[in-house]
Structure 1
Amino acid sequence: MNPNKKWWIDINLETLKKNLELRNFECFIVDKKEDIVPLLEKIIEKGSVVSCGGSMTLFECGVIDFLRNGKFNFLDRYKEGLSGDELGEIYRKSFWADYYIMSSNAITLDGKLINIDGNGNRLAALMFGPKSVIVIVGINKLVLNEQEGINRVRNIASPMNAKRLSKNTPCTSSGKCHDCLSQDCICSHIVVTRRHPVKGRIKIIIVKEELGF
């Protein structure tokens, strides 16, 4: 990595870590995506009930394969052949999980999580339910402030996710948000998590690489 880019990342992540901790989040910083699974092995107790939110980041880091290795009771939303009712049951059971793993659409330098959801199950679990939540984010999700974070989610993350899910929305044609109310809209809920009342319940792993959308 270019030394000037490394300097910029390191100095901003140092600031971000302090701000996250002020908001009752626990923060871990790793150099590369290959560092994530070894860290999760230390955090997650074997035999725990584990679930996850929809996330390309988790696939890119090998987290889904790790959870399927038999050491955990994994509520696998990505299992082939699930019916709509079975997927809904997994969503509901996730609220009683020991660990819930997800990414965040954006994270502000002052320590806020910015997320937009279609169904809202991921954000509901982030706010309340599972005993512990682990949020994995790449350096590309770091933004300066709350407004920049919302703009990033609406005009970068959401159009790409809508395209990935083959949604019939204006953003899949133009590549930018139209603030639509279409039946396929995946932007039903906008949540800013500015702190958590339970210190350490939300653990944030920041990776010095670009991950996900």
Structure 2
Amino acid sequence: MEKNLESLLRIKETELIKAFEANNMTCLFVKDRDELTHYLKSILNQSKKVALGGSVTLNQLGVIDLIKESDVHFIDRYEEGLSNEELMNRFREAFFADLFITSTNALTMDGCLYNIDGTGNRVAAMIFGPREVIVIAGLNKICQNEEEAIARIRHCSAPANAIRLNKKTPCTKTGHCMDCHSPDRICSSYVKLAYQKQVNRIKVIIVEENLGY
């Protein structure tokens, strides 16, 4: 990274860490996938029950394969051949996990997480249930404020994911949310995670790359 941009990032890093700490969340920065992997290997042990939220970021970083290779009980939402009922049961089982790993659609400089969800299992588990939540995000998810975070979700996260999932929604044509009533709509629940009652239950890890939507 160019040195002036590196200096700017370090300023943002300090600000974000303080902001998340003020909201009773932990925040740390890692340089790349290797540093993230090293960190995750240190906690993916002791037969912990681990669940995931659906995430392009986690796929890009190889987190799913890492979990499968670790000494944990993986609640595998991606197992082939699952019926819809079995998948829903995996989503429910995630509430009793020791560790829930996911990404976020956006995060803001005042230490908040912003997400949009279709089924709601991902945001529900982030809010309550699993003993610990790790949120992994790239630099591209950092937004200055709530307005920018919501705009990012409506004009990037939601349409990109709808395209990825082959949904028949207007946003796959227009490139931005149309507040549709399509049966394929994936933006059902808008959730802001701000101040947390349970101190340090949520840990935000920012990878110094552009990742996911």
What's the TM-score once normalised by structure 2's chain length? 0.97
Question: Aligned ranges for residues 45-194 of structure 1 at < 5 Å?
Answer: 45-194=45-194
SS of corresponding position for 2:116: strand
Q: Using the alignment, how far apart are the partners of 1:46 and 1:105 within structure 2?
A: 30
Q: Using the alignment, how far apart are the partners of 1:124 and 1:79 within structure 2?
A: 21
Q: Using the alignment, how far apart are the partners of 2:4 and 2:180 within structure 1?
A: 40
Q: Structure 2: which amino acid aligns with 1:45?
A: N
Q: Using the alignment, how far apart are the partners of 2:4 and 2:143 within structure 1?
A: 19
Q: Bigger shift: 31-40 or 106-115?
A: 31-40
Q: Using the alignment, how far apart are the partners of 1:31 and 1:70 within structure 2?
A: 22
Q: Using the alignment, how far apart are the partners of 2:157 and 2:105 within structure 1?
A: 7
1:159–1:176 CA contact under 8 A, matched in 2: yes
Q: Using the alignment, how far apart are the partners of 2:44 and 2:107 within structure 1?
A: 23
2:44–2:71 CA contact under 8 A, matched in 1: no
SS of corresponding position for 1:79: coil
SS of corresponding position for 2:29: strand
Post-superposition Cα deviations, 1:105-141, rounded to whole Å, max 9, x if no partner, equal 0000110000000000000000000000000010000
Structure 1 residue 70: Cα displacement: 4.6
Which residue matches 2:206? 206
Structure 1 residue 10: Cα displacement: 1.5
Q: Using the alignment, how far apart are the partners of 2:110 and 2:70 within structure 1?
A: 38
2:110–2:145 CA contact under 8 A, matched in 1: yes
Structure 1 residue 2: Cα displacement: 1.3
Q: Structure 2: which amino acid aligns with 1:65?
A: D
What's the TM-score once normalised by structure 1's chain length? 0.97
Q: Using the alignment, how far apart are the partners of 1:70 and 1:81 within structure 2?
A: 23
Structure 1 residue 12: Cα displacement: 0.8
Q: Bigger shift: 16-25 or 35-44?
A: 35-44
Structure 1: which 5+ runs fail to align?
none
Q: Structure 2: which amino acid aligns with 1:81?
A: G
Structure 1 residue 72: Cα displacement: 0.8
Q: Using the alignment, how far apart are the partners of 1:22 and 1:132 within structure 2?
A: 18
CA RMSD of aligned residues (A): 1.0
SS of corresponding position for 1:16: helix
Q: Using the alignment, how far apart are the partners of 1:105 and 1:99 within structure 2?
A: 19
Structure 1 residue 44: Cα displacement: 3.5
Alignment coverage as a number of residue pairs: 213
Post-superposition Cα deviations, 1:165-211, rounded to whole Å, max 9, x if no partner, equal 00000010111111112111100000011121010100110111111
Structure 2: which 5+ runs fail to align?
none
Q: Using the alignment, how far apart are the partners of 2:37 and 2:6 within structure 1?
A: 23
